[in-house]
Amino acid sequence: MKRSFICLFFLLWAQFSFGQTDLSDVQERLTAYTKTQLPEKIFLHTDKTFYVAGETVWFKIYVVDGVFHTLSPTDKVAYVELLDRTNAPVLRAKIALGEGGGNGSFQLPFTLSTGYYTIKCYTNWMKNLGADHFFEKSLTIVNTLKSPEQPAEKTKAAYMLQLFPEGGNLINSLSSKVAFHLTDQFGKGVKGEGYLLNKKNDTLSSFLPFKFGMGHFNLTPQNGEAYKVVFKLNDGQTVSTLVPRSLENGYTMHVDETAENRLKITVQTTLHSGSPIYLLAQTRQVVNAVQMSAVNDGTTVFLLDKNRLGAGISQLTIFDQNKNPVCERLFFVQPKSTDETRLRLSKERYGTREKVDLSLLSSAKGNQNMSLSIYQLDGLNSEHEARIDEYLWLTSELHGLVEEPAYYLSAPSAELKQASDYLMLTHGWRRFKWEKVLRQPTPPAFQREQFSQIITGVVTDTRTNETVKNVQVFLSIPNTVQQLYTSISDSTGHLHFHVKDYYGEGEIIAQVASQNDSFYKITINSPFAEPANTLSNPLLALDPSQQTSLENRSLSVQTQYVFSTDSIIRFFRPAISDTFPFYGQPLYQYNLDEYVRFNSMEEVLREYVREISVGVKGSGGSLRLKLFNETNRELYSDDILVMVDGIPLKNANKVFSIDPLQIKQLDVINRNYVLGNKFFHGLAGFKSYSGAYKGLELDPNSVIINYDGLQLQREFYSPNYSSETLRNSRLPDLRNTLLWMPDVQQKEISFYTGDNKGKYLIVLQGFDQDGQIVNASLQLEVQ
């Protein structure tokens, strides 16, 4: 699948690359950059956005390639974090991904404080491009059992005014459009009247925001002059900022739409009249057009058919004669959704504990990948759920907060076209920067987890504190099937363990394979991204009108914990395809319960394990384990891999200190065996009943840390009231989320309402059978 995607990408690249221009070297570097940094996007659908402590946050993860927005099966792990208002993680999880993404949950502790939280999601591969490319979403959490931290006394609102010259720079004596964005401290647009002033404070022009605090004014800067913009706001406050200083020489660009559905791109310059300049248009790193034009009297014009641009955000870049990017701006083509998925209920209103039949109406055929949430509109939950189409087409491509992103995907109009253009002018480009593209590509620092999760670490020499290469390290994970992994440190001293089928809580043990390397230190890295240095969220100020709703929600949580505890804490383990340990099928296997049980391991090995011999070192010396190698027909006491629950014993003779009554099974391979760069004459693997033998004496240089595997999936509790006995049960059913389905496969869905009356919102998100983005919603009323 991955290979076919790459082939398709570069087939399209070849289709839109134009050899007759002189930008072939730029295109080649963009191709090389894309090959090393194949972009991807990730979207997380939560069951709702407002929670009280004790509730469960349910989520579904969608991973798509960043070019065509098709589901990407190339990652097997996603990382999800819940951050508090100071951006410190309070909950973290690693989620297994399949062909259609993955799903998980967070049980919110009763110790959480009331406030705004951020849920963040990313893959290991996305770390290469930085936190700006991670998915983030705001959640509100209220702890009704703790007094909230009180916000400071209300002060004057803080405002921000930003200016964005079209194309990037202002050039003396050249006319430019300058966009502005006027916002409050929460990033929301505000209204006011703006004035452009020169350094003498003369008013040159006045203007108003068009929508969401965005608008523009025109300016032809003059040499030696300075300008500023002042806004008088509707609340009486004033905010101002300096206009970016103009340059003596350079380029400007201006984009207009013509009646012929074309873009007219006008470039002005004070440099190199008669020299060629170039236009490169690309949508998510697929080149749509390349044009060359000569500058005449300081001006040239490019005409570009809008139909050549892809849906969504395109990047229009002007390159000078030396192939350096000198101007750039974004342009938005509203995508045409071809999905027709709709929701239909069997009737308009339902009673409590009544069966609801929901139909998904769609003409698409094949496998779909969608998630469904039904939650109560209780005055706390929002009706405006973050939509997957908004994220993929808009917010994932832009800097900063996009206010009401659904507006830009609404029915086309002249107002919408103008507002969209202001959005492109003020929110910039976040996917990549040309300086990264044009330099020589570098290998990515983080690997794509294509087959399994990767545990990483580093080996250092404690004498020099420098990293060490070519050191083999064993990683043991008791209570797993595979049990033991190995890695050899690379040229930078880094380790990479490709770990399969590791789920739930646990610990890992790392140790250097060689018995003589006591000066080496192993450090296991956190799999989660470094915390971003971002501003704290504001304190949450609760509205007194929400008190009744909060009390009802708190009662709902408490009743579920009292009456339905067993139903809300059910987990299940996924099926594991490979049920053999790392060494496969042993040559000999001893299930100790089938034999006479002895009180010492010496007796066990002497009495019925014929492949292992027990000797004594010297007169009255310690016991010594020897293994008979069938290949060489010899007994060996050295270079034998002896393990207990996957943990190698550097001193094989320590096996005699193990309590045999705690050992369930012994596997023996008495032939030559190679693991990493280590050669063994054979191996003996002891397995305890618990899977994690207690009291085992480990090498003092071993590293033992708590390290959770992939999250076990929690089962969503949805009672069935088909019988009259259950319908008449006096046990309360105060569920706020009636239904959560992370993997909707059927088109007919049935569920039951609870005891809470009111309106509920049904939200369906994902991809239909034809790969089209799905976003549908419908209200349900319970009387």
Percentage of the residues of the chain whose pLDDT score is greater than 90: 70
> What average pLDDT does the segment 738-752 reach?
94
Whether 532 has a pLDDT exceeding 80, the answer reads no
**Number of other CB atoms surrounding residue 711 within 10 Å:** 21
Average pLDDT over the chain, rounded to whole?
90
C-alpha 218/C-alpha 227 separation (Å) is: 12
Whether 776 has a pLDDT exceeding 80, the answer reads yes
pLDDT band at 504 (very low <50, low <70, confident <90, very high): very high
Task: Compute φ and ψ for 715, nearest 5 degrees.
Answer: -90, 130
C-alpha 408/C-alpha 22 separation (Å) is: 36
pLDDT band at 19 (very low <50, low <70, confident <90, very high): very low
pLDDT band at 1 (very low <50, low <70, confident <90, very high): very low
Which residue would you say has higher pLDDT here, 576 or 226? 226
Task: Answer yes or no: are the C-beta atoms of 288 and 281 closer than 8 Å.
Answer: yes
Whether 774 has a pLDDT exceeding 50, the answer reads yes
Which residue would you say has higher pLDDT here, 481 or 756? 756
Burial of 355 (0-12, 13-18, 19+ CB in 10 A): middle
> What average pLDDT does the segment 499-510 reach?
94
> What average pLDDT does the segment 478-485 reach?
88
Which residue would you say has higher pLDDT here, 574 or 658? 658
Residues 505-515 pLDDT 10s: 999 999 999 87
> What average pLDDT does the segment 108-112 reach?
95
Residue 154: predicted pLDDT? 61
Whether 17 has a pLDDT exceeding 70, the answer reads no
pLDDT band at 16 (very low <50, low <70, confident <90, very high): very low
Q: Which of 420, 451, 531 is nearest to 134 (CA)?
A: 531
Residues 154-188 pLDDT 10s: 667 789 999 999 999 999 999 999 999 999 988 89
> What average pLDDT does the segment 71-84 reach?
94
Residue 430: predicted pLDDT? 64
> What average pLDDT does the segment 363-391 reach?
88
Q: Which residues pair with 669 in a beta bridge?
A: 683
Q: Which of 692, 674, 691 is nearest to 683 (CA)?
A: 674
Q: Which residues pair with 168 in a beta bridge?
A: none
Residues 221-263 pLDDT 10s: 999 999 999 999 999 999 999 999 999 999 999 999 998 999 9
Residue 516: predicted pLDDT? 76
Residue 57: predicted pLDDT? 97
Whether 674 has a pLDDT exceeding 80, the answer reads yes
**Number of other CB atoms surrounding residue 123 within 10 Å:** 25
Q: Which of 275, 300, 313 is nearest to 398 (CA)?
A: 313
Sheet with 507-512: list strands edge to edge: 484-488, 472-476, 507-512, 703-706
CA dihedral 181, 186, 190, 193 (to 10 degrees): -60
Residue 12: predicted pLDDT? 42
Residues 285-343 pLDDT 10s: 999 999 999 999 999 999 999 999 999 999 999 999 999 999 999 999 999 876 678 89
Task: Compute φ and ψ for 359, nearest 5 degrees.
Answer: -115, 140
The one-letter amino acid at 587: L
Which residue would you say has higher pLDDT here, 215 or 150? 215
Residue 492: predicted pLDDT? 95
> What average pLDDT does the segment 461-489 reach?
94
Residue 438: predicted pLDDT? 85
> What average pLDDT does the segment 528-533 reach?
85
Residue 434: predicted pLDDT? 87
Highest mean pLDDT among 16-20, 67-71, 564-568: 67-71
Residue 15: predicted pLDDT? 37
Highest mean pLDDT among 200-209, 523-532, 617-626: 200-209
Sign of CA dihedral 465, 471, 477, 478: negative
Task: Give the number of residues written for the chain.
Answer: 783
Place of tokens 């003059």: 222
